[in-house]
Amino acid sequence: MSPETIWGERWLNCDQPIAREYMEVACKKQSLVVLAADKNSMQELNDLIEDVGDYISALKTHVDLIDDWSKNAWDDFIGKAKEKNLLIFEDRKHGDIGKIAKKQMGGIYNSRAWADLITAHLISGISVLDGIQEAWSEVGKSGGVLVLAQMSSEGNLLELPGYTDSVIKMAKLHSACFGFIGNGSRPNELKELRKKVGQGKMIWTPGVNLNANDAVLGQRYGDPKDAILSGSDAIIVGSGIHNATNPKDAAKKYAEISWNALLQRRE
């Protein structure tokens, strides 16, 4: 079956090349899983990608939580992820004014060179998207921003009346906007978000874990199938996979659940 048949309206309306690339990879791998690779050493990251890389469709990183980070080790790791056909998504949560966000795409980590996707808050206005876009274009790369419309953590201030609506309104028409982060732990909120976003943008959701009791420090978890059926296009799973006794089996399980949910959604 073609990606168009599988993704339906989303394929037709999300026509950015990078969104199409994600949807194609998801079909090839039969997985809507984005791995949140929250490990602290390069060795652990390399082992993890080797183990589960075939069952995920994108790799989400926090480059600044690695103890033994070096440019060479990182480039190697990104190379391995690319061999597994993964989009690289740095969860930077930019939030500064445009010209600083642009500079922050450089620096030691130089995420403009390797990140295909990056997160941003719109708390300081739309210029953050302009800054990120300019940074990519200066190194001859294009990428997409996942804008935080909701969060999974308890008591987050994005829930204040009007915030999510304003973010969607501002970001939806910006060419750097790949889509929105939605709250994977609350299917009803997600359904509302999908209605507001429409079909033309991705919604990716953290806060997904089959074991809701694993949530610590204000994290909230919801079910992967519910998230996809409520309009999410990718489940972002961290500890549900990397803390599992057998990460490969866990990744396969999340992949299967997410893929079956997508098939069910199109019926």
Binding residues for ligand 5BU (CB under 6 A): 36, 38, 62, 91, 119, 148, 151-153, 181, 206-207, 209, 219, 236-240
Residues with catalytic function: 93
Could you tell me how many residues make up the chain?
A: 267
Nearer to ligand 5BU, 63 or 73 (CB): 63
Specify the residue, 16 or 152, whose C-beta has the smaller distance to ligand 5BU: 152
Tokens representing 166? 């304003």
Could you tell me the smallest distance in angstroms from the CB atom of residue 42 to ligand 5BU? Answer: 17
Q: 234: closest CA among 203, 191, 198, 210? A: 203
- Least distance in Å: CB of 232 to ligand 5BU? 12
- Rounded least distance, CB 78 to ligand 5BU, Å: 17
Tell me which H or E stretch contains 119: strand 117-120
Nearest alpha-carbon partner for 63 in 19, 17, 114, 97: 114
CB of 185 to ligand 5BU, least distance (A): 9
53 or 224, CB closer to ligand 5BU? 224
Return all residues near 192 (Cβ < 8 A) that are at least 6 apart.
none
Q: Which residues contact 216 (CB under 8 A, 6 or more apart)?
A: none
Neighbours of 94 (CB within 10 A): 26
At closest approach, how far in Å is the CB of 94 from ligand 5BU?
12
Distances (CA, A) of 3 to 23, 35, 83, 223: 7, 21, 21, 24
CB 90 within 8 A of CB 115: yes
Residue 178 beta carbon to ligand 5BU: minimum distance, rounded to whole angstroms: 14
Tokens 């500079």 -> residue: 103
CB 245 within 8 A of CB 45: no
Residue at shortest CB range from ligand 5BU = 238
| Kind plus residue range of the DSSP H or E element containing 164 | helix 163-172
Of 174, 173, 171, residue with least CA distance to 123: 171
Pairing type for strands 202-205 and 33-36 reads unpaired
